[in-house]
Amino acid sequence: MFVVPNWFIGYDALTEAIFAVVTLLVSLLAFKIFKLTKSNNSKLLGFGFLFIAFSYAILAIFNAGNCFNLHESFCEITKWDPVMWYYVQLYIHLILYLLGLVTLVYMTFKTKSPKLYSLLILISALPFMFSLNFPHVYFVLSSVLLAYIFAFYLGNFFKNPNLHTALIMVAFTFLFIADLTYIFTMKSAMSYVIYHFIELVAYILILFNLVTIIKK
């Protein structure tokens, strides 16, 4: 699915591990806030970022294994087809990431409707099941979901302009741009690097926001 430059192998796993840690931190803090406030939106934010953290963790582990040629040994021992093994991990990553984004989009609606949530999940899963070109479908779908989340945080910034709302708004702008960049340049090896770099900037901004909140 991805065209990866040789020199970037290993660095991709490292950046994905950073994304997993940052999203996990957001999730843990959201659950802590939920414990104190019993706010349903905090719980949803926690679960949304937890799904995303797991999706990045799986990708990081897979790419780290790729770096040390662990997959070949694993497939030799288990007699699994390496291509099948690759797609299983990729699907788990993509499904968890989309589930995270769907949960965040549902959170922006600020409503308590399991029907709406299940409908969003179903709509996101359908093209996945019936499309032969699932990498493109995945990026188009995640871009649409990220566009919704970005619009929400843009509105949140205008409603309450301060450093924290600005950081989150800019971070989601970068995540949206990263996805768009990848849709149009999927076959280029350099786009894989740019995609990771833009996402890294976004997650550094989110981490910076967390640090400024916790430090006070």
Partner 1 sequence: MRKRNRLEIIYDILKAISNKNGTIKPTHILYKSNLSHKMMNEYLKELMDSGFIIENNTSSGKTYSITPQGFEYLNKYKMIIEFTDSFGLN
Q: Concatenated DSSP letters for 38-49?
A: --HHHHHHHHHH
Find the radius of gyration of the CA atoms of the chain.
18
DSSP label of 162: S
Q: How far apart are CA 123 and CA 190, in angstroms?
A: 32
Q: Which of 13, 45, 120, 145 binds partner 1 (CB under 8 A)?
A: 45
Residues in the chain: 216
DSSP label of 132: S
Q: How far apart are CA 181 and CA 71, in angstroms?
A: 29
Q: CB-wise, 44 or 200, nearer to partner 1? A: 44
Q: Which of 47, 148, 152, 192 binds partner 1 (CB under 8 A)?
A: 152
Residue 27 engages partner 1 in binding (rule: CB under 8 A):
no
Q: CB-wise, 88 or 213, nearer to partner 1? A: 213
Residue 108 engages partner 1 in binding (rule: CB under 8 A):
yes
Residue 103 engages partner 1 in binding (rule: CB under 8 A):
no
**Residues near partner 1 (CB under 8 A):** 26, 29-30, 33, 36-39, 41-42, 45, 107-108, 152-153, 155-156, 160, 162, 164-165, 167-168, 209, 212-214, 216
